[in-house]
Every structure is written in structure tokens, then in C-alpha cells.
Homo-oligomer: A and B are copies of this chain.
Amino acid sequence: MTSDSASTPARAQDRSASQMRPVTLTPNVMKNATGSCLAEFGDTRVLCSATVEEGVPSWRKGSHAGWVTAEYAMLPASTNRRTSREYRGRKGRSMEIERLIGRSLRAVCRLDRLGEVTITLDCDVLQADGGTRTASVTGAWVALHAALLSLVEKGRLPRLPLTGQVAAISAGIVGGRPLLDLDYPEDSHADVDLNLVGNEKSQIVEVQGTGERALLSREQLDELLDLGQAGIAQLTELQSQVTGFRL
């Protein structure tokens, strides 16, 4: 299968199947957060911040280790139809996403070297055009890096407790064609949707593939993983550029 065949409908901005949207990661955009990053994937904009608080959740007390957790929310007007705030009960989707963000960042953070602090990554979607969860993971790592660097600079940590980077990207099959980094119109028509979280060494932190409209063959899964891993390589390189972090 040739996934870039000329006969299929063109993507917006003439993107090729394996091409990501323009991505920018802008660190330190919030005055009051310990670390922050505005992550933009095309028109998707997520404001990620890292806040450091003393203490850990009660179930971790006495562990002599820290905790890293995440919260994810969409501004009501970030979406085409207004999205309600979750005042009367959390949505499953939001909890799923914030659990994913938290797990992904804990995978590369030495909690045992943090001390008994909790770092919360808040990922607030200012504008949604597909891929908000993967932009959140990618930007949250930059925010976390900035916050940890600030703790090092203040002498509260001897060195960065990071074992590596983590970034995420989506891929999917749209009209029979595997595409990288779906925007909202593509996502709405995707038969299969894959979210991949990985590091700078082509290792996988998390993979979630779902076929609600169509089932997925093993070959298709492989194609999507190939696309995703190539995307993550680009994203971790960009993270290195904006943070100066390289293992």
C-alpha cells in the first residue's frame, strides 16, 4: 500500500500523509507557574503549566518520593460547539486523558529524587483542532522540564531528575489512508485512531489504538506505528531545541 497516493483527497495545507502540522513549543509563557509551555500543533493550542506543591497525596505519604500528576480541561469556547465545564461530574474522556498525561511523564521522571513534592501538570486547551491529548503530553514535558530546572537553579534539587524525554502524536486511517497528526476534520472521519507516546530513543511509553468505525489489521497497526514513531522523533528533537535538554 502506498500511503501517499496522489489519487486520495489532499490534506489541508497540502500536507503529505507523513507530515505533521507546524509545531511550536514556547516555554515559560506564564509568570506565576514554576514551568510552562504553550504547545501549538497547527490550530490546536494547549497551555501547559507545571506547579510544584509541598507534600504528596495521602496514599503516598512516607514514601520519601514525590508525585507527578496531570489535569486536562478544554476552555468552553475552544471547540466548535461550546463544551460545558465539568462542574457537575467529570467526563470519562477528560479523566482518561489526564491519566495518560500523568503516566507518560512519570515514565521519565525519577520520583524518588524529587523529595516529597507534588508536581501538577495542568493542560488547558485554548483552541482545539485535533490532537489535544498528544499536544498536551508533548508540551507538558517542556513545562515539567522548566519547572525541574527552576528547582535545580534554586538549589532545591541537585540535578534534573529526568531519565529522558517524552512526546506524543496521533495517527489514523482516513479514507483507507494512514495519516500522521490528524486535524479535527480528519479525526472526525477516521476509521481508526492511534495515539502514540514515546521517547527520543524510539521506545514506546504508551500506545492506544481504537477502531470504532473499522477494525484494524496487524499490518495497518504496523503502518500507524511507523508513522507515529517518525513523528515522535521530530517532536523530541524540537523539545531538545527549545529546552537545551539532551541526554
Contacts and interface: CB of A to CB of B under 8 A. Distances in A.
Given A76-B120, A79-B32, A128-B32, A211 B215 contact: no
Nearest to A34: B77
Contacts of A126: 30, 47
B75 A49 contact: yes
Chain A contact residues (Cβ within 8 angstroms of B): what range? 35 or more
A169 B208 CA distance: 15
A225 B202 CA distance: 18
A90 B86 CA distance: 11
Among A49, A75, A221, A225, chain B packs the most CB atoms within 10 A around the CB of A75
A87 B211 CA distance: 29
**Main SS at interface, chain A:** mixed
B87 A76 contact: no
A188 interface: no
A124 interface: yes
B206 A207 contact: no
Contacts of A107: 211-212, 215
27 contacts: A30-B127, A32-B80, A47-B126, A50-B77, A51-B82, A71-B76, A73-B85, A76-B120, A87-B89, A89-B90, A90-B90, A92-B96, A95-B96, A107-B211, A107-B212, A124-B124, A201-B215, A203-B216, A204-B216, A204-B217, A204-B221, A206-B208, A206-B211, A207-B208, A207-B221, A208-B208, A221-B225
Given A204-B216, A204-B218, A205-B210, 19 more contacts: A30-B126, A30-B127, A32-B127, A49-B76, A76-B122, A86-B87, A87-B89, A90-B90, A90-B92, A96-B96, A106-B212, A107-B211, A107-B212, A124-B124, A202-B217, A205-B211, A206-B208, A207-B209, A221-B225
